[in-house]
Copies of this chain bind each other. A is one copy, B any other.
Amino acid sequence: MKHGFVKGRRVWHGGAMVSRKSSPRPAPRATAAPSSAAIQKRTRQQHAQERAEDYVEAIADLIAGSGEARATDLAKSLGVTHVTVIRTVQRLQREGLVTTQPYRSIFLTPSGRKLAAEAKARHETVAEFLESLGVPQATARADAEGIEHHVSPATIAAFRRFLATGG
């Protein structure tokens, strides 16, 4: 059932070696279950969701800071060109997270605001947590940007617990 060579020698997988004979239908093969199970939905939607959070959070920050979010400032804030911003904002509008009109700045819808608030809260927690561990502030903030999208509620809760009990 398995085939393959390792330096010329034939090998089999994980010792499973299920008998195809015993079950007419192939049946779910007992393949060596990978240790790091990769339940990860690493589809494009995952990245799209992260982008969406980055954008709404940046938009919220810009609005909080200067009253409006313009494509150019957003581009600067996110480190991409304004073209990319415009196209991504179009997608976000399609998804109901933001509203915008030609030559006008960008606003968050209620659900966009909600998402931004959640993302920001996670972001803050992660950053504070890393700082409390002794990571330099600049590094902590930079890492938090990358990490925030991948922490489950349970992990965020653990971070908060740690901070609360005098990290």
Contacts and interface: CB of A to CB of B under 8 A. Distances in A.
A68 B11 contact: yes
Contacts of A73: 13, 31-32, 34
B135 A158 contact: yes
Contacts of A146: 40, 149-151
A39 interface: yes
Interface of A: 2, 4-6, 11-14, 31-32, 34-42, 47, 57-58, 61-62, 65-68, 70, 73, 76-80, 104-105, 123, 130, 133-136, 139-143, 145-147, 149-152, 154-155, 158-159, 161-162
Given A4-B105, A32-B73, A36-B77, 11 more contacts: A4-B70, A4-B104, A5-B68, A40-B145, A133-B155, A135-B155, A136-B154, A140-B155, A143-B155, A146-B151, A147-B151
